[in-house]
Amino acid sequence: MKQRPTIKDVAQAAGVSLGTASRALNRAGRVSEEAIAAVTKAARRLGYEPDAVAQSMRTRSTGVIGLLVSDFANPLYARIITSVEASMQAAGYTLLIANTHNDRKREKSLIDTFRGRRVDGLILGPCEIESAEFLERVDADLPVVAMDRDFSAAGTGVHVDHYHGALQATRYLLNLGHTEIALMTPGSILRPGRDRIAGFEDAFRERGLTPNPKLIRAEKSAMDYAFSEALGLLSAPQAPTAFMCLGTRILSGVLQALKHSGRSIPEDASVVSIGDTDLSQLFTPAITSLTWDFEAVGTALAQLLLKRLDRDHKPEPERIVLTTQMVLRESCASARLSKAKVLDAGRQKQAQKTDQKG
């Protein structure tokens, strides 16, 4: 197995010194056109490919960005990550992706691993027991951009306004006459979960109501769990007439529970999906969704990090808050009219159009 050529080989082949070869290859400093030509030619002839590890050793910069998220296969994250990757690739960076599985220890160990690999920056998604202080400590060392996470005054990141989103979605269901609304979002300790619960509760409070605390459920994000939770709620005396469910897995469980208990949507129960996915778009009836722009989250994260990546630029903390949108479809109806015709037909017409863009 032949060794890969080094810059030394290139210099030798081009008949110049090592330093000149380096300058020629990087077009840095003073180099003659002849030298550039000779070196470039030699490099191409030998199939020279710079050793990024050795470059990093000197420059202290790897061109790698670490991204940590609970589960990158989660459709709610997958599209964001794709968008981050595209932006980063365009800027010449490579993405190192890992799953924390929402485990604080795992996150910490992965951050250390990434730090050891001398990544140039870090993008962190929500994780168990977050502390702004922790983030700040990491950031002192290494540019960090947080996504949907708490951060102190010094923190930089992107937030989706889950609070107002939940507020809006809950109002929508309250307007339809629902009061027994189940909120199924995992991670009440995570920033997005907490915000949703707050918005949900405030929507009730606005009208002098108090949400039934038993209807705020689903700590875990698993289909089986959501299925049995929903089934339990549906068999209770005050069964919910509406569900707000996060993502694909919980929505799946709830839809199955509804099907299993012989209830039809929207006649017997209204459903709002939090985070629009293939499932909510394609299900029959199509599921009304509270959603946000995944691609925009990704580009915002990338943009923020890129800005903090040049060492000299003072790292002023910066935040981007993205708003949510309701996509009205066919899964919600008035609570009063069981088995009756869908009331918000007018709105749904409008929703069809919005749908096209999603």
- Residues contributing to the site for a second copy (CB under 8 A): 1, 4, 49-54, 56-57, 62, 64, 71-73, 75, 78-79, 81-82, 85-86, 89, 94-99, 112-113, 115-118, 140-141, 248-249, 252, 255-256, 259, 277-279, 281-284
Least separation in angstroms between CB 66 and a second copy:
9
User: Residue 259: what residue type?
Assistant: K
| Binding partner selected for residue 81 from DNA, a second copy, none, CB under the kind-specific 5 to 8 Å limit | a second copy
Cα–Cα distance between 289 and 324 in angstroms, integer?
Answer: 10
Do the beta carbons of residue 154 and residue 131 sit within 8 Å? Answer: no
- Whichever of 238 and 352 has its CB closer to a second copy, that residue is 352
Do the beta carbons of residue 196 and residue 211 sit within 8 Å? Answer: no
Q: How many helices and strands, by DSSP H and E, does the chain display?
A: 14, 12
Instruction: Using CB atoms within 10 Å of the CB of residue 267, give its burial: 0 to 12 exposed, 13 to 18 middle, 19+ buried.
Output: middle
Say whether residue 280 binds DNA (CB under 7 A): no
Least separation in angstroms between CB 106 and a second copy:
9
Do the beta carbons of residue 76 and residue 274 sit within 8 Å? Answer: no
Give the residue from 200, 169, 352, 173 showing the smallest Cα distance to 270.
Answer: 173
Cα 232 to Cα 214, 221, 244, 285: the distances in Å are: 11, 16, 16, 23
Which of 37, 57, 129, 345: binder of DNA (CB under 7 A)? 57
Binding segment for DNA (CB under 7 A), chosen from 45-53, 133-141, 166-174, 240-248, is 45-53
**Alpha carbon distance, N-terminus to C-terminus of the chain:** 52
| Binding partner selected for residue 113 from DNA, a second copy, none, CB under the kind-specific 5 to 8 Å limit | a second copy
Binding segment for DNA (CB under 7 A), chosen from 19-27, 121-129, 182-190, 265-273, is 19-27
Binding segment for DNA (CB under 7 A), chosen from 29-37, 166-174, 240-248, 324-332, is 29-37
CA 153 to centroid of chain Cα atoms: 22
Which of 25, 197, 304, 305: binder of DNA (CB under 7 A)? 25
| Binding partner selected for residue 20 from DNA, a second copy, none, CB under the kind-specific 5 to 8 Å limit | DNA
Residues found near DNA in the complex (CB under 7 A): 3-4, 6-8, 16-20, 22-23, 25-26, 28-32, 34-35, 48, 50-51, 54-55, 57-59
